[in-house]
Structure 1
Amino acid sequence: MPSATQSPEVTMLLARARAGDDAALGAAYSALYDELKRAARQQLRRMQDAFQTTALVHEAYMKLAGGAQLAAVDRNHLLALSARAMRQVLVDDARARKAEKRGGGQEALTLGAALGNGETAAVEVLALDELLSSLHRLDERAAQIVELRYFGGYSETEIADMLGISDRTLRRDWRKARAFLLAEMQA
């Protein structure tokens, strides 16, 4: 598994992208491409979605490249923004499928693997997005941990490194986020 340590090359490319070099973002994204594909593959495997791994990574890139001025300052920040972009792509796709006249029913995804300890809870992608938005209002870091873990597919150690927090703090925030999500899903 790739290390979540900083990459000076990616940081330099992101600085060039923020300065207006259009090709630099693509180069930074390319440098992280294999890691992004791994994250997308894990996410799609959990969802059992027909969305293709490469398509999800490319759509996330298009969201990042086509959006407002890129604010990523380093490798970890770009990975976090990419996880958020993947979430947005999947939510947009779920909304589009739900809006179809025929076959617009939403398949549930299981959070059992992400929630751990044998808990299983089925929730629609759109419902998960709403829950994460609610959690974000209450505890931004806890919501970011869920997003990185579930949509990014990163391990606890990788997330702790990315967020610059201890493993213990991460586990505490993860337990709090998981409890919130389970309580809201059962309400």
Structure 2
Amino acid sequence: MLNVASDQITLLLASWSKGDEFALEQLMPLVYDELRRMAKSYMRRQASRHTFQTTELIHEAYLKIAKGEERNWENRAHFFGVASQAMRHILVDYARSKQSRKRGDWQERITFAEAALISNEGSEKIVALDDALKQLAVLDARKCRVVEMKFF
């Protein structure tokens, strides 16, 4: 059964690459469980005080992939790799925005309860990890991909 779904995913990715938007609609139910597993894995590594939800991360990644330039899918592993990168980028952007708010870049009044939700806990680590991965990519792109595949 898994091979049938795997083959169907590959065929739908090929159709989507050729511009068939309906293929994307058929693809999402087949890949949703794997995307959810990936998102849960990301969320487990995040600070417990963040306000981002697993479903929200999946949907944001879906929008990023659906609207993105990447359409020449080599295989399902390529698709899931791009989805994983999209999730990481979304969380890094989210962490950066939290840090920005914490430093007062938005200059809006908030309550003490709201300030607790904007905690820097964890977001600094996410940004530092992203910066380190970018530096590694400059030195050795393949090693960077290995790290991304291992941990993301």
What's the offset of the Cα at 1:46?
Answer: 1.4
C-alpha distance after superposition, 1:106-137 (max 9, x if no partner): 2226xxxxxxxxxxxxx521111111111112
What does residue range 1-16 of structure 1 map to in structure 2 within 5 Å?
Answer: 7-16=6-15
Counterpart code for 1:106: N
* Residue ranges of structure 2 left out of the alignment (5+ in a row): 105-109
Number of residue pairs matched?
135
Instruction: Give the aligned partner of residue 148 of structure 2.
Output: 147
* Residue ranges of structure 1 left out of the alignment (5+ in a row): 110-122, 152-187
Q: CA–CA distance in 2 between the matches of 1:19 and 1:38?
A: 28
Larger radius of gyration: 2
Aligned-CA RMSD value: 2.3
Q: Aligned pair in 2 of structure 1 residues 47, 69: CA closer, same or farther (>3 Å)?
A: closer
Q: CA–CA distance in 1 between the matches of 2:70 and 2:46?
A: 31
Q: Establish whether residue 43 from structure 1 lines up as the match of residue 42 from structure 2.
A: yes
Q: Establish whether residue 18 from structure 1 lines up as the match of residue 32 from structure 2.
A: no
Instruction: Give the aligned partner of residue 126 of structure 2.
Output: 125
Instruction: Give the aligned partner of residue 107 of structure 2.
Output: none
What's the offset of the Cα at 1:69?
Answer: 4.0
Considering fraction of residues, name the structure with more helix: 2
Moved over 4 A (4+): 102-105
What's the offset of the Cα at 1:81?
Answer: 0.4
Q: CA–CA distance in 1 between the matches of 2:128 and 2:25?
A: 32
Q: Aligned pair in 2 of structure 1 residues 138, 46: CA closer, same or farther (>3 Å)?
A: same
Instruction: Give 3-state SS (helix, strand or coil) of 2:45's partner.
Output: helix
Counterpart code for 1:147: E
What does residue range 37-186 of structure 1 map to in structure 2 within 5 Å?
Answer: 37-48=36-47, 49-100=50-101, 101=104, 103=115, 106-108=120-122, 124-151=125-152
Q: CA–CA distance in 1 between the matches of 2:16 and 2:7?
A: 14
Q: CA–CA distance in 2 between the matches of 1:90 and 1:40?
A: 10
Q: Aligned pair in 2 of structure 1 residues 138, 29: CA closer, same or farther (>3 Å)?
A: farther
Normalising by structure 2, we get a TM-score of 0.77
Instruction: Give 3-state SS (helix, strand or coil) of 1:50's partner.
Output: coil
What's the offset of the Cα at 1:97?
Answer: 1.3
